[in-house]
Every structure is written in structure tokens, then in C-alpha cells.
Structure 1
Amino acid sequence: MSEWMRHTLNRFAQPVTSADPELLQVFNAQAAARGYTLSAGQQRVIQAMAERLVDRHKGKVRGLYIHGAVGRGKSWLLDGFYQALAEPGKRRLHFHDFFARLHQGMFRHRENADALAVTLDELLGDCRVLCFDEFHVHDIGDAMLLKRLFSALFERHILVVLTSNYAPAQLLPNPLYHERFLPVIELIGERMQVLELDGDTDFRSLPANHAHQRFTRGHYLYPGTCEQRERLNVPLPSPCTLHVNRRPLRALACEPGQVMFAFDDLCQQPTAVIDYLVLARDHPRWIIDGLDDLNECSLAAQQRFVNLVDVLYDQDIEVLVIGRKPLAESLDGGLADLMRTRSRLGQLQQVG
């Protein structure tokens, strides 16, 4: 991020009465460098980000909830905002990661009268601006904790800026649980500006974006013949056991810089986001072998695969997925979140 952009966002921490158009100019320049023009929706989000910083300086902390379809630039805007913000107490977290660590910490401090507060002290410290990417809710247990979490963040006067594929009212759509989640939706509406990022362009599909990501240099390979594997330097299976978060996990091969897993070992077994994060830290290239039709898998396995792709994309891991069918025939399933997975895997180079 340029010094000019840092200087611009520094100015938004000063006492001004309205958002300066220079921030929009900076993002326009960043977009132009990638070969595209900001959409009207992206411009509205940038304006809202600037206004939230202005209000924060005045002591009026109100969060920003950005939602919209996949590929509209939500994560790119959030990253640009975070990178440019001259605020020592800032954190940018993938929501999967944060929530997994929150659960672990609260279990560890379960004997404490306020395990949530102690855990937040550990995870966030003196955080004043918190950026969450890919916020969504699937589990009613998580949903009940979210009310306490958001209340605690707002009580600490933390500016929360988050992205989601879903409007607040669309979170936890299961009719068996949705009514119990309404207090969280109401709290978000009261304490955050909710803004839809719309538009017709899928910015992830633009060629200029591929040069900036390792993930998009990866491949989707089917049906995985010996000749195809040799061409892409897929190692021969040499099964081994990795120990991840004190649990054994079978790998098909593990070499310096890369790891290969069978789809079933990663997604048909009770693995978790925190496991993928640990593995992503140690292995910059992944091979996932044996993807078939997700529609034939349980919803739990589908959700693990969605979570896995989210982590690999967010951590910018080069990935090779070996399927038994073309990609378009492999990603059917009952989860709404699979639309994000289709978008992300659709950026891989397809070989078949």
C-alpha cells in the first residue's frame, strides 16, 4: 500500500466534518492499477468507511456491515481499508479463525466468571478497529454466543467492519432457529451501518487479479490420469500421519513446501477450521485428491469443504484439486455457501 494512501487514511483520523473525496480517489487509482473501474456500490462502501472513521474520532463508534454477492470486491475493499489505516490497535481476522479461537479460549477459561471477557483480552488486547472477513452463521450454538460477542465488542467501543455474503436478516435461515437469532440481527441493525455492495461485475474473474494471488495460479484437474499428474508434478502417494492440534490426520504425502490429502480424510472426518489454519501456515502448496460429487456427501462434509476452500483462499495458498468429474459437476449440494466455493474454485486453471 502506498504512502499516499496511508497519509490519506491518516487524515480521516483527524477531526473533520465530512468524508474527504481523496480516499475515493486513492481507491480509484488502486482499481485502475488492476485494470478495472470502481463500481457505484464500491464507491458507496468507501464513502461509508471514511465516515465511520470520522465518527469514531468524534467518539461515535458505529460499525459497518458490508454484504453482497461473491466477487463484488468486499474483501479487496476491507483489505485496502485495513492496510492503509494508521492505527496500532487494528486487527484483520478471518471470522472462521477468530471464532474457532474464541471457542478454544472460553473452554480454557471456563472456570472464570467471565470467560468471554478474559478470552477477548487474550485475542484482541488493545484492539480499537476490528475487521472481519467472510462473516456467516450456521450453528445455533454459535448464534447464541454471537449476541454476547457483539455486545462485548460494542461495549469496548471497538469499531467493527465486516464483510458477508448475506444480509443480516438472511443469517441462520433455518426456520427452526432463525427466531432465536433475531436479537443478534436487531443488535447489528442498531449498532452497525448495513450496506449492500451490489453490481454486475464479478471482479474475481478479471485476469488482472490473478497476478496478485497464489491461489489463482492453482489448478483443477480431472479425471486425474497418470499423465495429467506427471505434468503437474503430483507426488506419488506416500501416506504419513500429521499431528494437528494434538490430533492425528492422515496425509497422502508430505514434502517440503507442499502437502497432499485425500478429500475424504479432510472433509469426511471431523476436521475443523483451526486445523486448516495450522496446516496452511506450514504448507504453501496443497493438493486435494479425490473430489467427487459434493451432493453425495453429508451436509457436514460439504460445510467442511466450504470452510477449507475459504481458509486456503484467505491464506492465499496455491492449490491443486483433483476431481473425478468436471468442476461444474462436482459442486452441487444443499448449502448456500457453496456459491462462494464455486466462485473461488472457478478461478483455478482447469485441466481435463
Structure 2
Amino acid sequence: MAVLSLIQRLLGKKTDVKSASPIPAFFAHKAKQQGYTLSAGQTQAIAALARQTQQLLAGKPTRSLYLHGPVGRGKSWLLDGFFQALPIAEKQRVHFHAFFARLHRGMFQHREHDDALGVTLDELLAGCRVLCFDEFHVHDIGDAMLISRLFKTLFQRGMLVLVTSNYAPEGLLPNPLYHERFKPVIDLIAARMDVLEVSSPEDFRSLPQAHAEQRFSAGQYVWPGTVAQREALGLPATHCPAQTLKVGNRQWVCRSHQAPTIAFTFNDLCEQLTAVMDYLLLCQDFDHWIIDGLPPLAQCPIAVQQRFINLVDVLYDQDKRLTLIGQQPLAHALQGQAIDLARTASRLQQLQTVCPQQAPHPVS
């Protein structure tokens, strides 16, 4: 197999890849099965994953890996494949938002302890030898300080950490007011991790074969949300009366909630003080999310844009079905100033678009 042979050459001719690491053969088979042609960056990353797997299985020290690149270039695909193929049980695959929500909650519970972080990690990562950390980004100085402590602790524990990010390490926490304070973490990443760029001329999420892999891809973007469209799709009316819903210790407003479906307006979710932990709680009970009234994001405050970005991240990672309703083409609605909107746009491209006198088709 051509891909496998190339990875073997990158690993070195003396390495018996098939017997020592299942990673190259797994990805060669997965790419062929899904009709993907691996990019040079993906191939280099697979070879690095194979090297560290060999070290891990041989009981030798490993170097962690930091994969970065533009949205839709296969970083999460690599992480998920590595996690699936790695032949050990002591591993975890976590998402940035979900992990940090649990980390903050645990540290609050153990706040009286001298090492609240260590005790929380003992609970969250008990017995874990490999941590796959997807969609890593830093925009908040509070998270940045916690990340510094977290990474030092993970490396001290000898854990193999695989990180994917849209940002090269030096691009993390881009706010110039705080970036220098994060420099020690960037230096730590450079010292303890192999940093690899995963790039490609195309966004893999736009390919037809990507649409069959997630329930998220079965969702729809509906515009302009006419009465006829709503009736045909069985969607709530535009002016559904508000209903109350308890989320954690707070009362929320939604339009309807009958499992497995919950419906909100954009205002209900993003123009209120909602948070990632709230979305994660609701994901435990609801698989189909309807969000009505997506405005042009460029007209919204940055904080509102960021809540929408976080919400889409959670729904995508939790593989929830999303029906999003707006008044204009999606590409127009998603123009804004928030840094991570490119990732949101790439993910929402997987929805099927429904517009007047047109059958559903992938958003282009």
C-alpha cells in the first residue's frame, strides 16, 4: 500500500512498523476505506504518532505531540484514529470545552485542598497514560494560567499528550495584553512536544464522504425560515411563547423542550449569560437542537459571537443534530470579528441547506 510504504520510509527502513505499531496500517486502511488522499502534513503526523506509539509500547519515554493547522485539514481525524488504534486501555480523548468545564468544577469542589489541581486530575485522569486533547485554544487569561499549571503537571506525570489546535503554539492567546504572560507555556510546549503543522489545499469537511460520518452532518440550515418551510420541516412557529427550563441551578428560557428535541431562539442562547457547562448539561438530555433567528454575527458583540462559537463546538463534539434557522445565506450570517469563526463556518458547512424552492444540499 503506497501510503503505508511512505510512512515506513519516514519512520526509517530498519523499523518493523507492522509488528511494532498498528498506527500506519490503521490510517492507510482508513484513508482508503473513506476515499481520502492523505496530505503530506497528515503523513508526517502519522509517522510521528507511530514513533511515539512504538516508544510507549516498549516502555520507553515518549514525546508529546502538538498538531496545528487551518480548520478542516484532518487534525481531529488523526486524533480520533490514533485514539482508536492505540492498543492500550489507559487513554482518554477529551475536548477543550468539556475538559475545562470538568476541571474547573473539580477544582472548586476541592478548593480547600492544598493541591486542588492534582486531586482533580487524580479523579479525571485516574490511570491514564495517553491524553488526546482536541480543539485546543486559549483566549482567556484565567484559563491561560490554569493551562500553564496543567501542562506542567501532565508532563511531570510522564503522560503522552496529543494536542490538536487551529493555532501554532506562538499564536495561542493572541491578545497582545496577555500574550507575553503565556510565553512560558509556549516555551514548555516547544521543549516537551513535537510541533507539527497539518496542512492541505482543501477543507476535508467539504468533501462528500465527510457528510456520512456524523449525526451533526444530518442537520440543516434553513433560510429565510418562511411559514411554509417551517410547516414542511415540522419546526416551531416563529413566535412560540417562551417556556422555562431548569439548567443546573438556573432558570433558562427556551421555545420548547420535549426529549430528544429542544428549541431556542438565538437570543435565548447567545445573548444571555449562558456558558459551555450549561450546553454540556443540556446535551445529556437532548440530541436534536433547533436554534432560530441566527442574525448577521458581524452586528453582534464579540461576547455573543464567542458564545455561538462555543455552542457549535459543543454540539459538534457531542455529535448532536442541529437545525439552524436564519434569514440569509449562511456565509453572510457568519461574517464577524471573533477569531474562531473560521472553525465554526467549517463545521456548519456540513449542514444541509434548505432555502426557497430548493431541495436540501450541502452548504457550499
TM-score (norm 2): 0.89
Counterparts of 1:334 and 1:130 in 2: how far apart (Å)? Answer: 32
Query: Is 1:232 the counterpart of 2:229 in the alignment?
Result: no
Query: Matched residues in 1 for 2:117 and 2:306: separation?
Result: 26
Pairing 1:128-277 to 2, within 5 Å after superposition = 128-236=129-237, 237=240, 239-277=242-280
1:18–1:51: 8 Å Cα contact kept in structure 2? no
Give the deviation of 1:240 after TM superposition.
2.1
Match of 1:38 in 2: 38
Moved more, 206-215 or 142-151: 206-215
Residue by residue over 1:315-335, the C-alpha shift from the partner in whole angstroms, topping out at 9 and shown as x without a partner, is 111111001221111112111
Quote the offset at 1:132 in angstroms.
0.7
Alpha-carbon distance between aligned partners in 1 of 2:85 and 2:244, rounded to the nearest angstrom: 41
Structure 2 partner of 1:111: 112
The equivalent residue for 1:284 is: 287
Distance in 2, Cα, partners of 1:120 & 1:304 = 27
Q: 1:213-250: per-residue Cα shift (whole Å, max 9, x none)?
A: 11111111111111011111113435322211221111
SS of the equivalent of 2:139 reads coil
Q: Indicate if the aligned counterparts of 1:220 and 1:321 stay in contact, CA closer than 8 A.
A: yes
Aligned to 1:4: none
Residue type at the aligned position of 1:314? D
Q: Give distance in 2, aligned partners of 1:36 and 1:152.
A: 37
Q: Which residue of 2 is the match for residue 297 of structure 1? A: 300
Q: Which moved more, 1:69-78 or 1:18-27?
A: 18-27
Runs of 4 or more, structure 1, over 4 Å off, are none
What is the distance in 2 between the residues matched to 1:248 and 1:193? 45
In structure 1, the gaps of 5 or more residues are 1-16
Give the distance between the partners of 1:53 and 1:247, measured in 2 at CA.
45
**Structure 1 residue matching 2:284: 3-state secondary structure:** helix
Distance 1:342 1:18 in 2: 41
After superposing the two structures, state which structure 1 stretch, 168-177 or 100-109, moved more: 100-109
Q: What amino acid is aligned across from residue 24 of structure 2 in structure 1?
A: L
Is this contact kept in 2: 1:19–1:50, CA < 8 A? no
- Alignment CA distance shift 1:19-1:131 (3 Å): farther
Partners of 1:313 and 1:344 within 8 A in 2:
yes
Q: Distance in 2 between matches of 1:335 and 1:183?
A: 25
Read off the aligned partner of 2:17 and give its amino acid letter: D
| Larger deviation, residues 25-34 vs 278-287 | 25-34
Residue of structure 2 in register with 1:74 after alignment? 75
Q: Partner residue of 2:17?
A: 20
Could you tell me which amino acid in structure 2 is paired with residue 24 of structure 1? Answer: P
Structure 2 residue aligned with 1:48: 48
Is residue 24–residue 50 contact of structure 2 (8 Å, CA) maintained in 1? no
| Equivalent residue number for residue 311 of structure 2 | 308
Give the Cα separation in 1 of the matches to 2:253 and 2:66. Answer: 39
1:18 deviates by 4.0
Mapped partners of 2:270, 2:142: distance in 1: 21
Structure 2 distance, partners of 1:18, 1:157, is 24
Q: Work out the CA distance in 1 between the residues paired with 2:55 and 2:334.
A: 43
What is the rounded CA distance, in whole Å, between the counterparts of 1:19 and 1:40 in structure 2? 22
Verify the 8 A CA contact 1:138 1:172 in the aligned structure 2: yes
Cα distance between partner residues in 2 of 1:245 and 1:189: 39
The amino acid of 2:213's aligned partner reads: H
Question: Structure 1: how far apart are the matches of 2:295 and 2:26?
Answer: 44
Superposed CA offset, 1:294-324 (max 9, x none) = 1111111111110110111111111110012
CA distance in 2, matches of 1:261, 1:34: 35
Counterparts of 1:148 and 1:183 in 2: how far apart (Å)?
11
TM-score (norm 1): 0.92
Give ranges in structure 2 of 5+ residues lacking alignment.
1-13, 356-364
**C-alpha distance 41-330 of structure 1, shift in aligned 2 (>3 A):** same
Residue aligned with 1:93, SS: strand
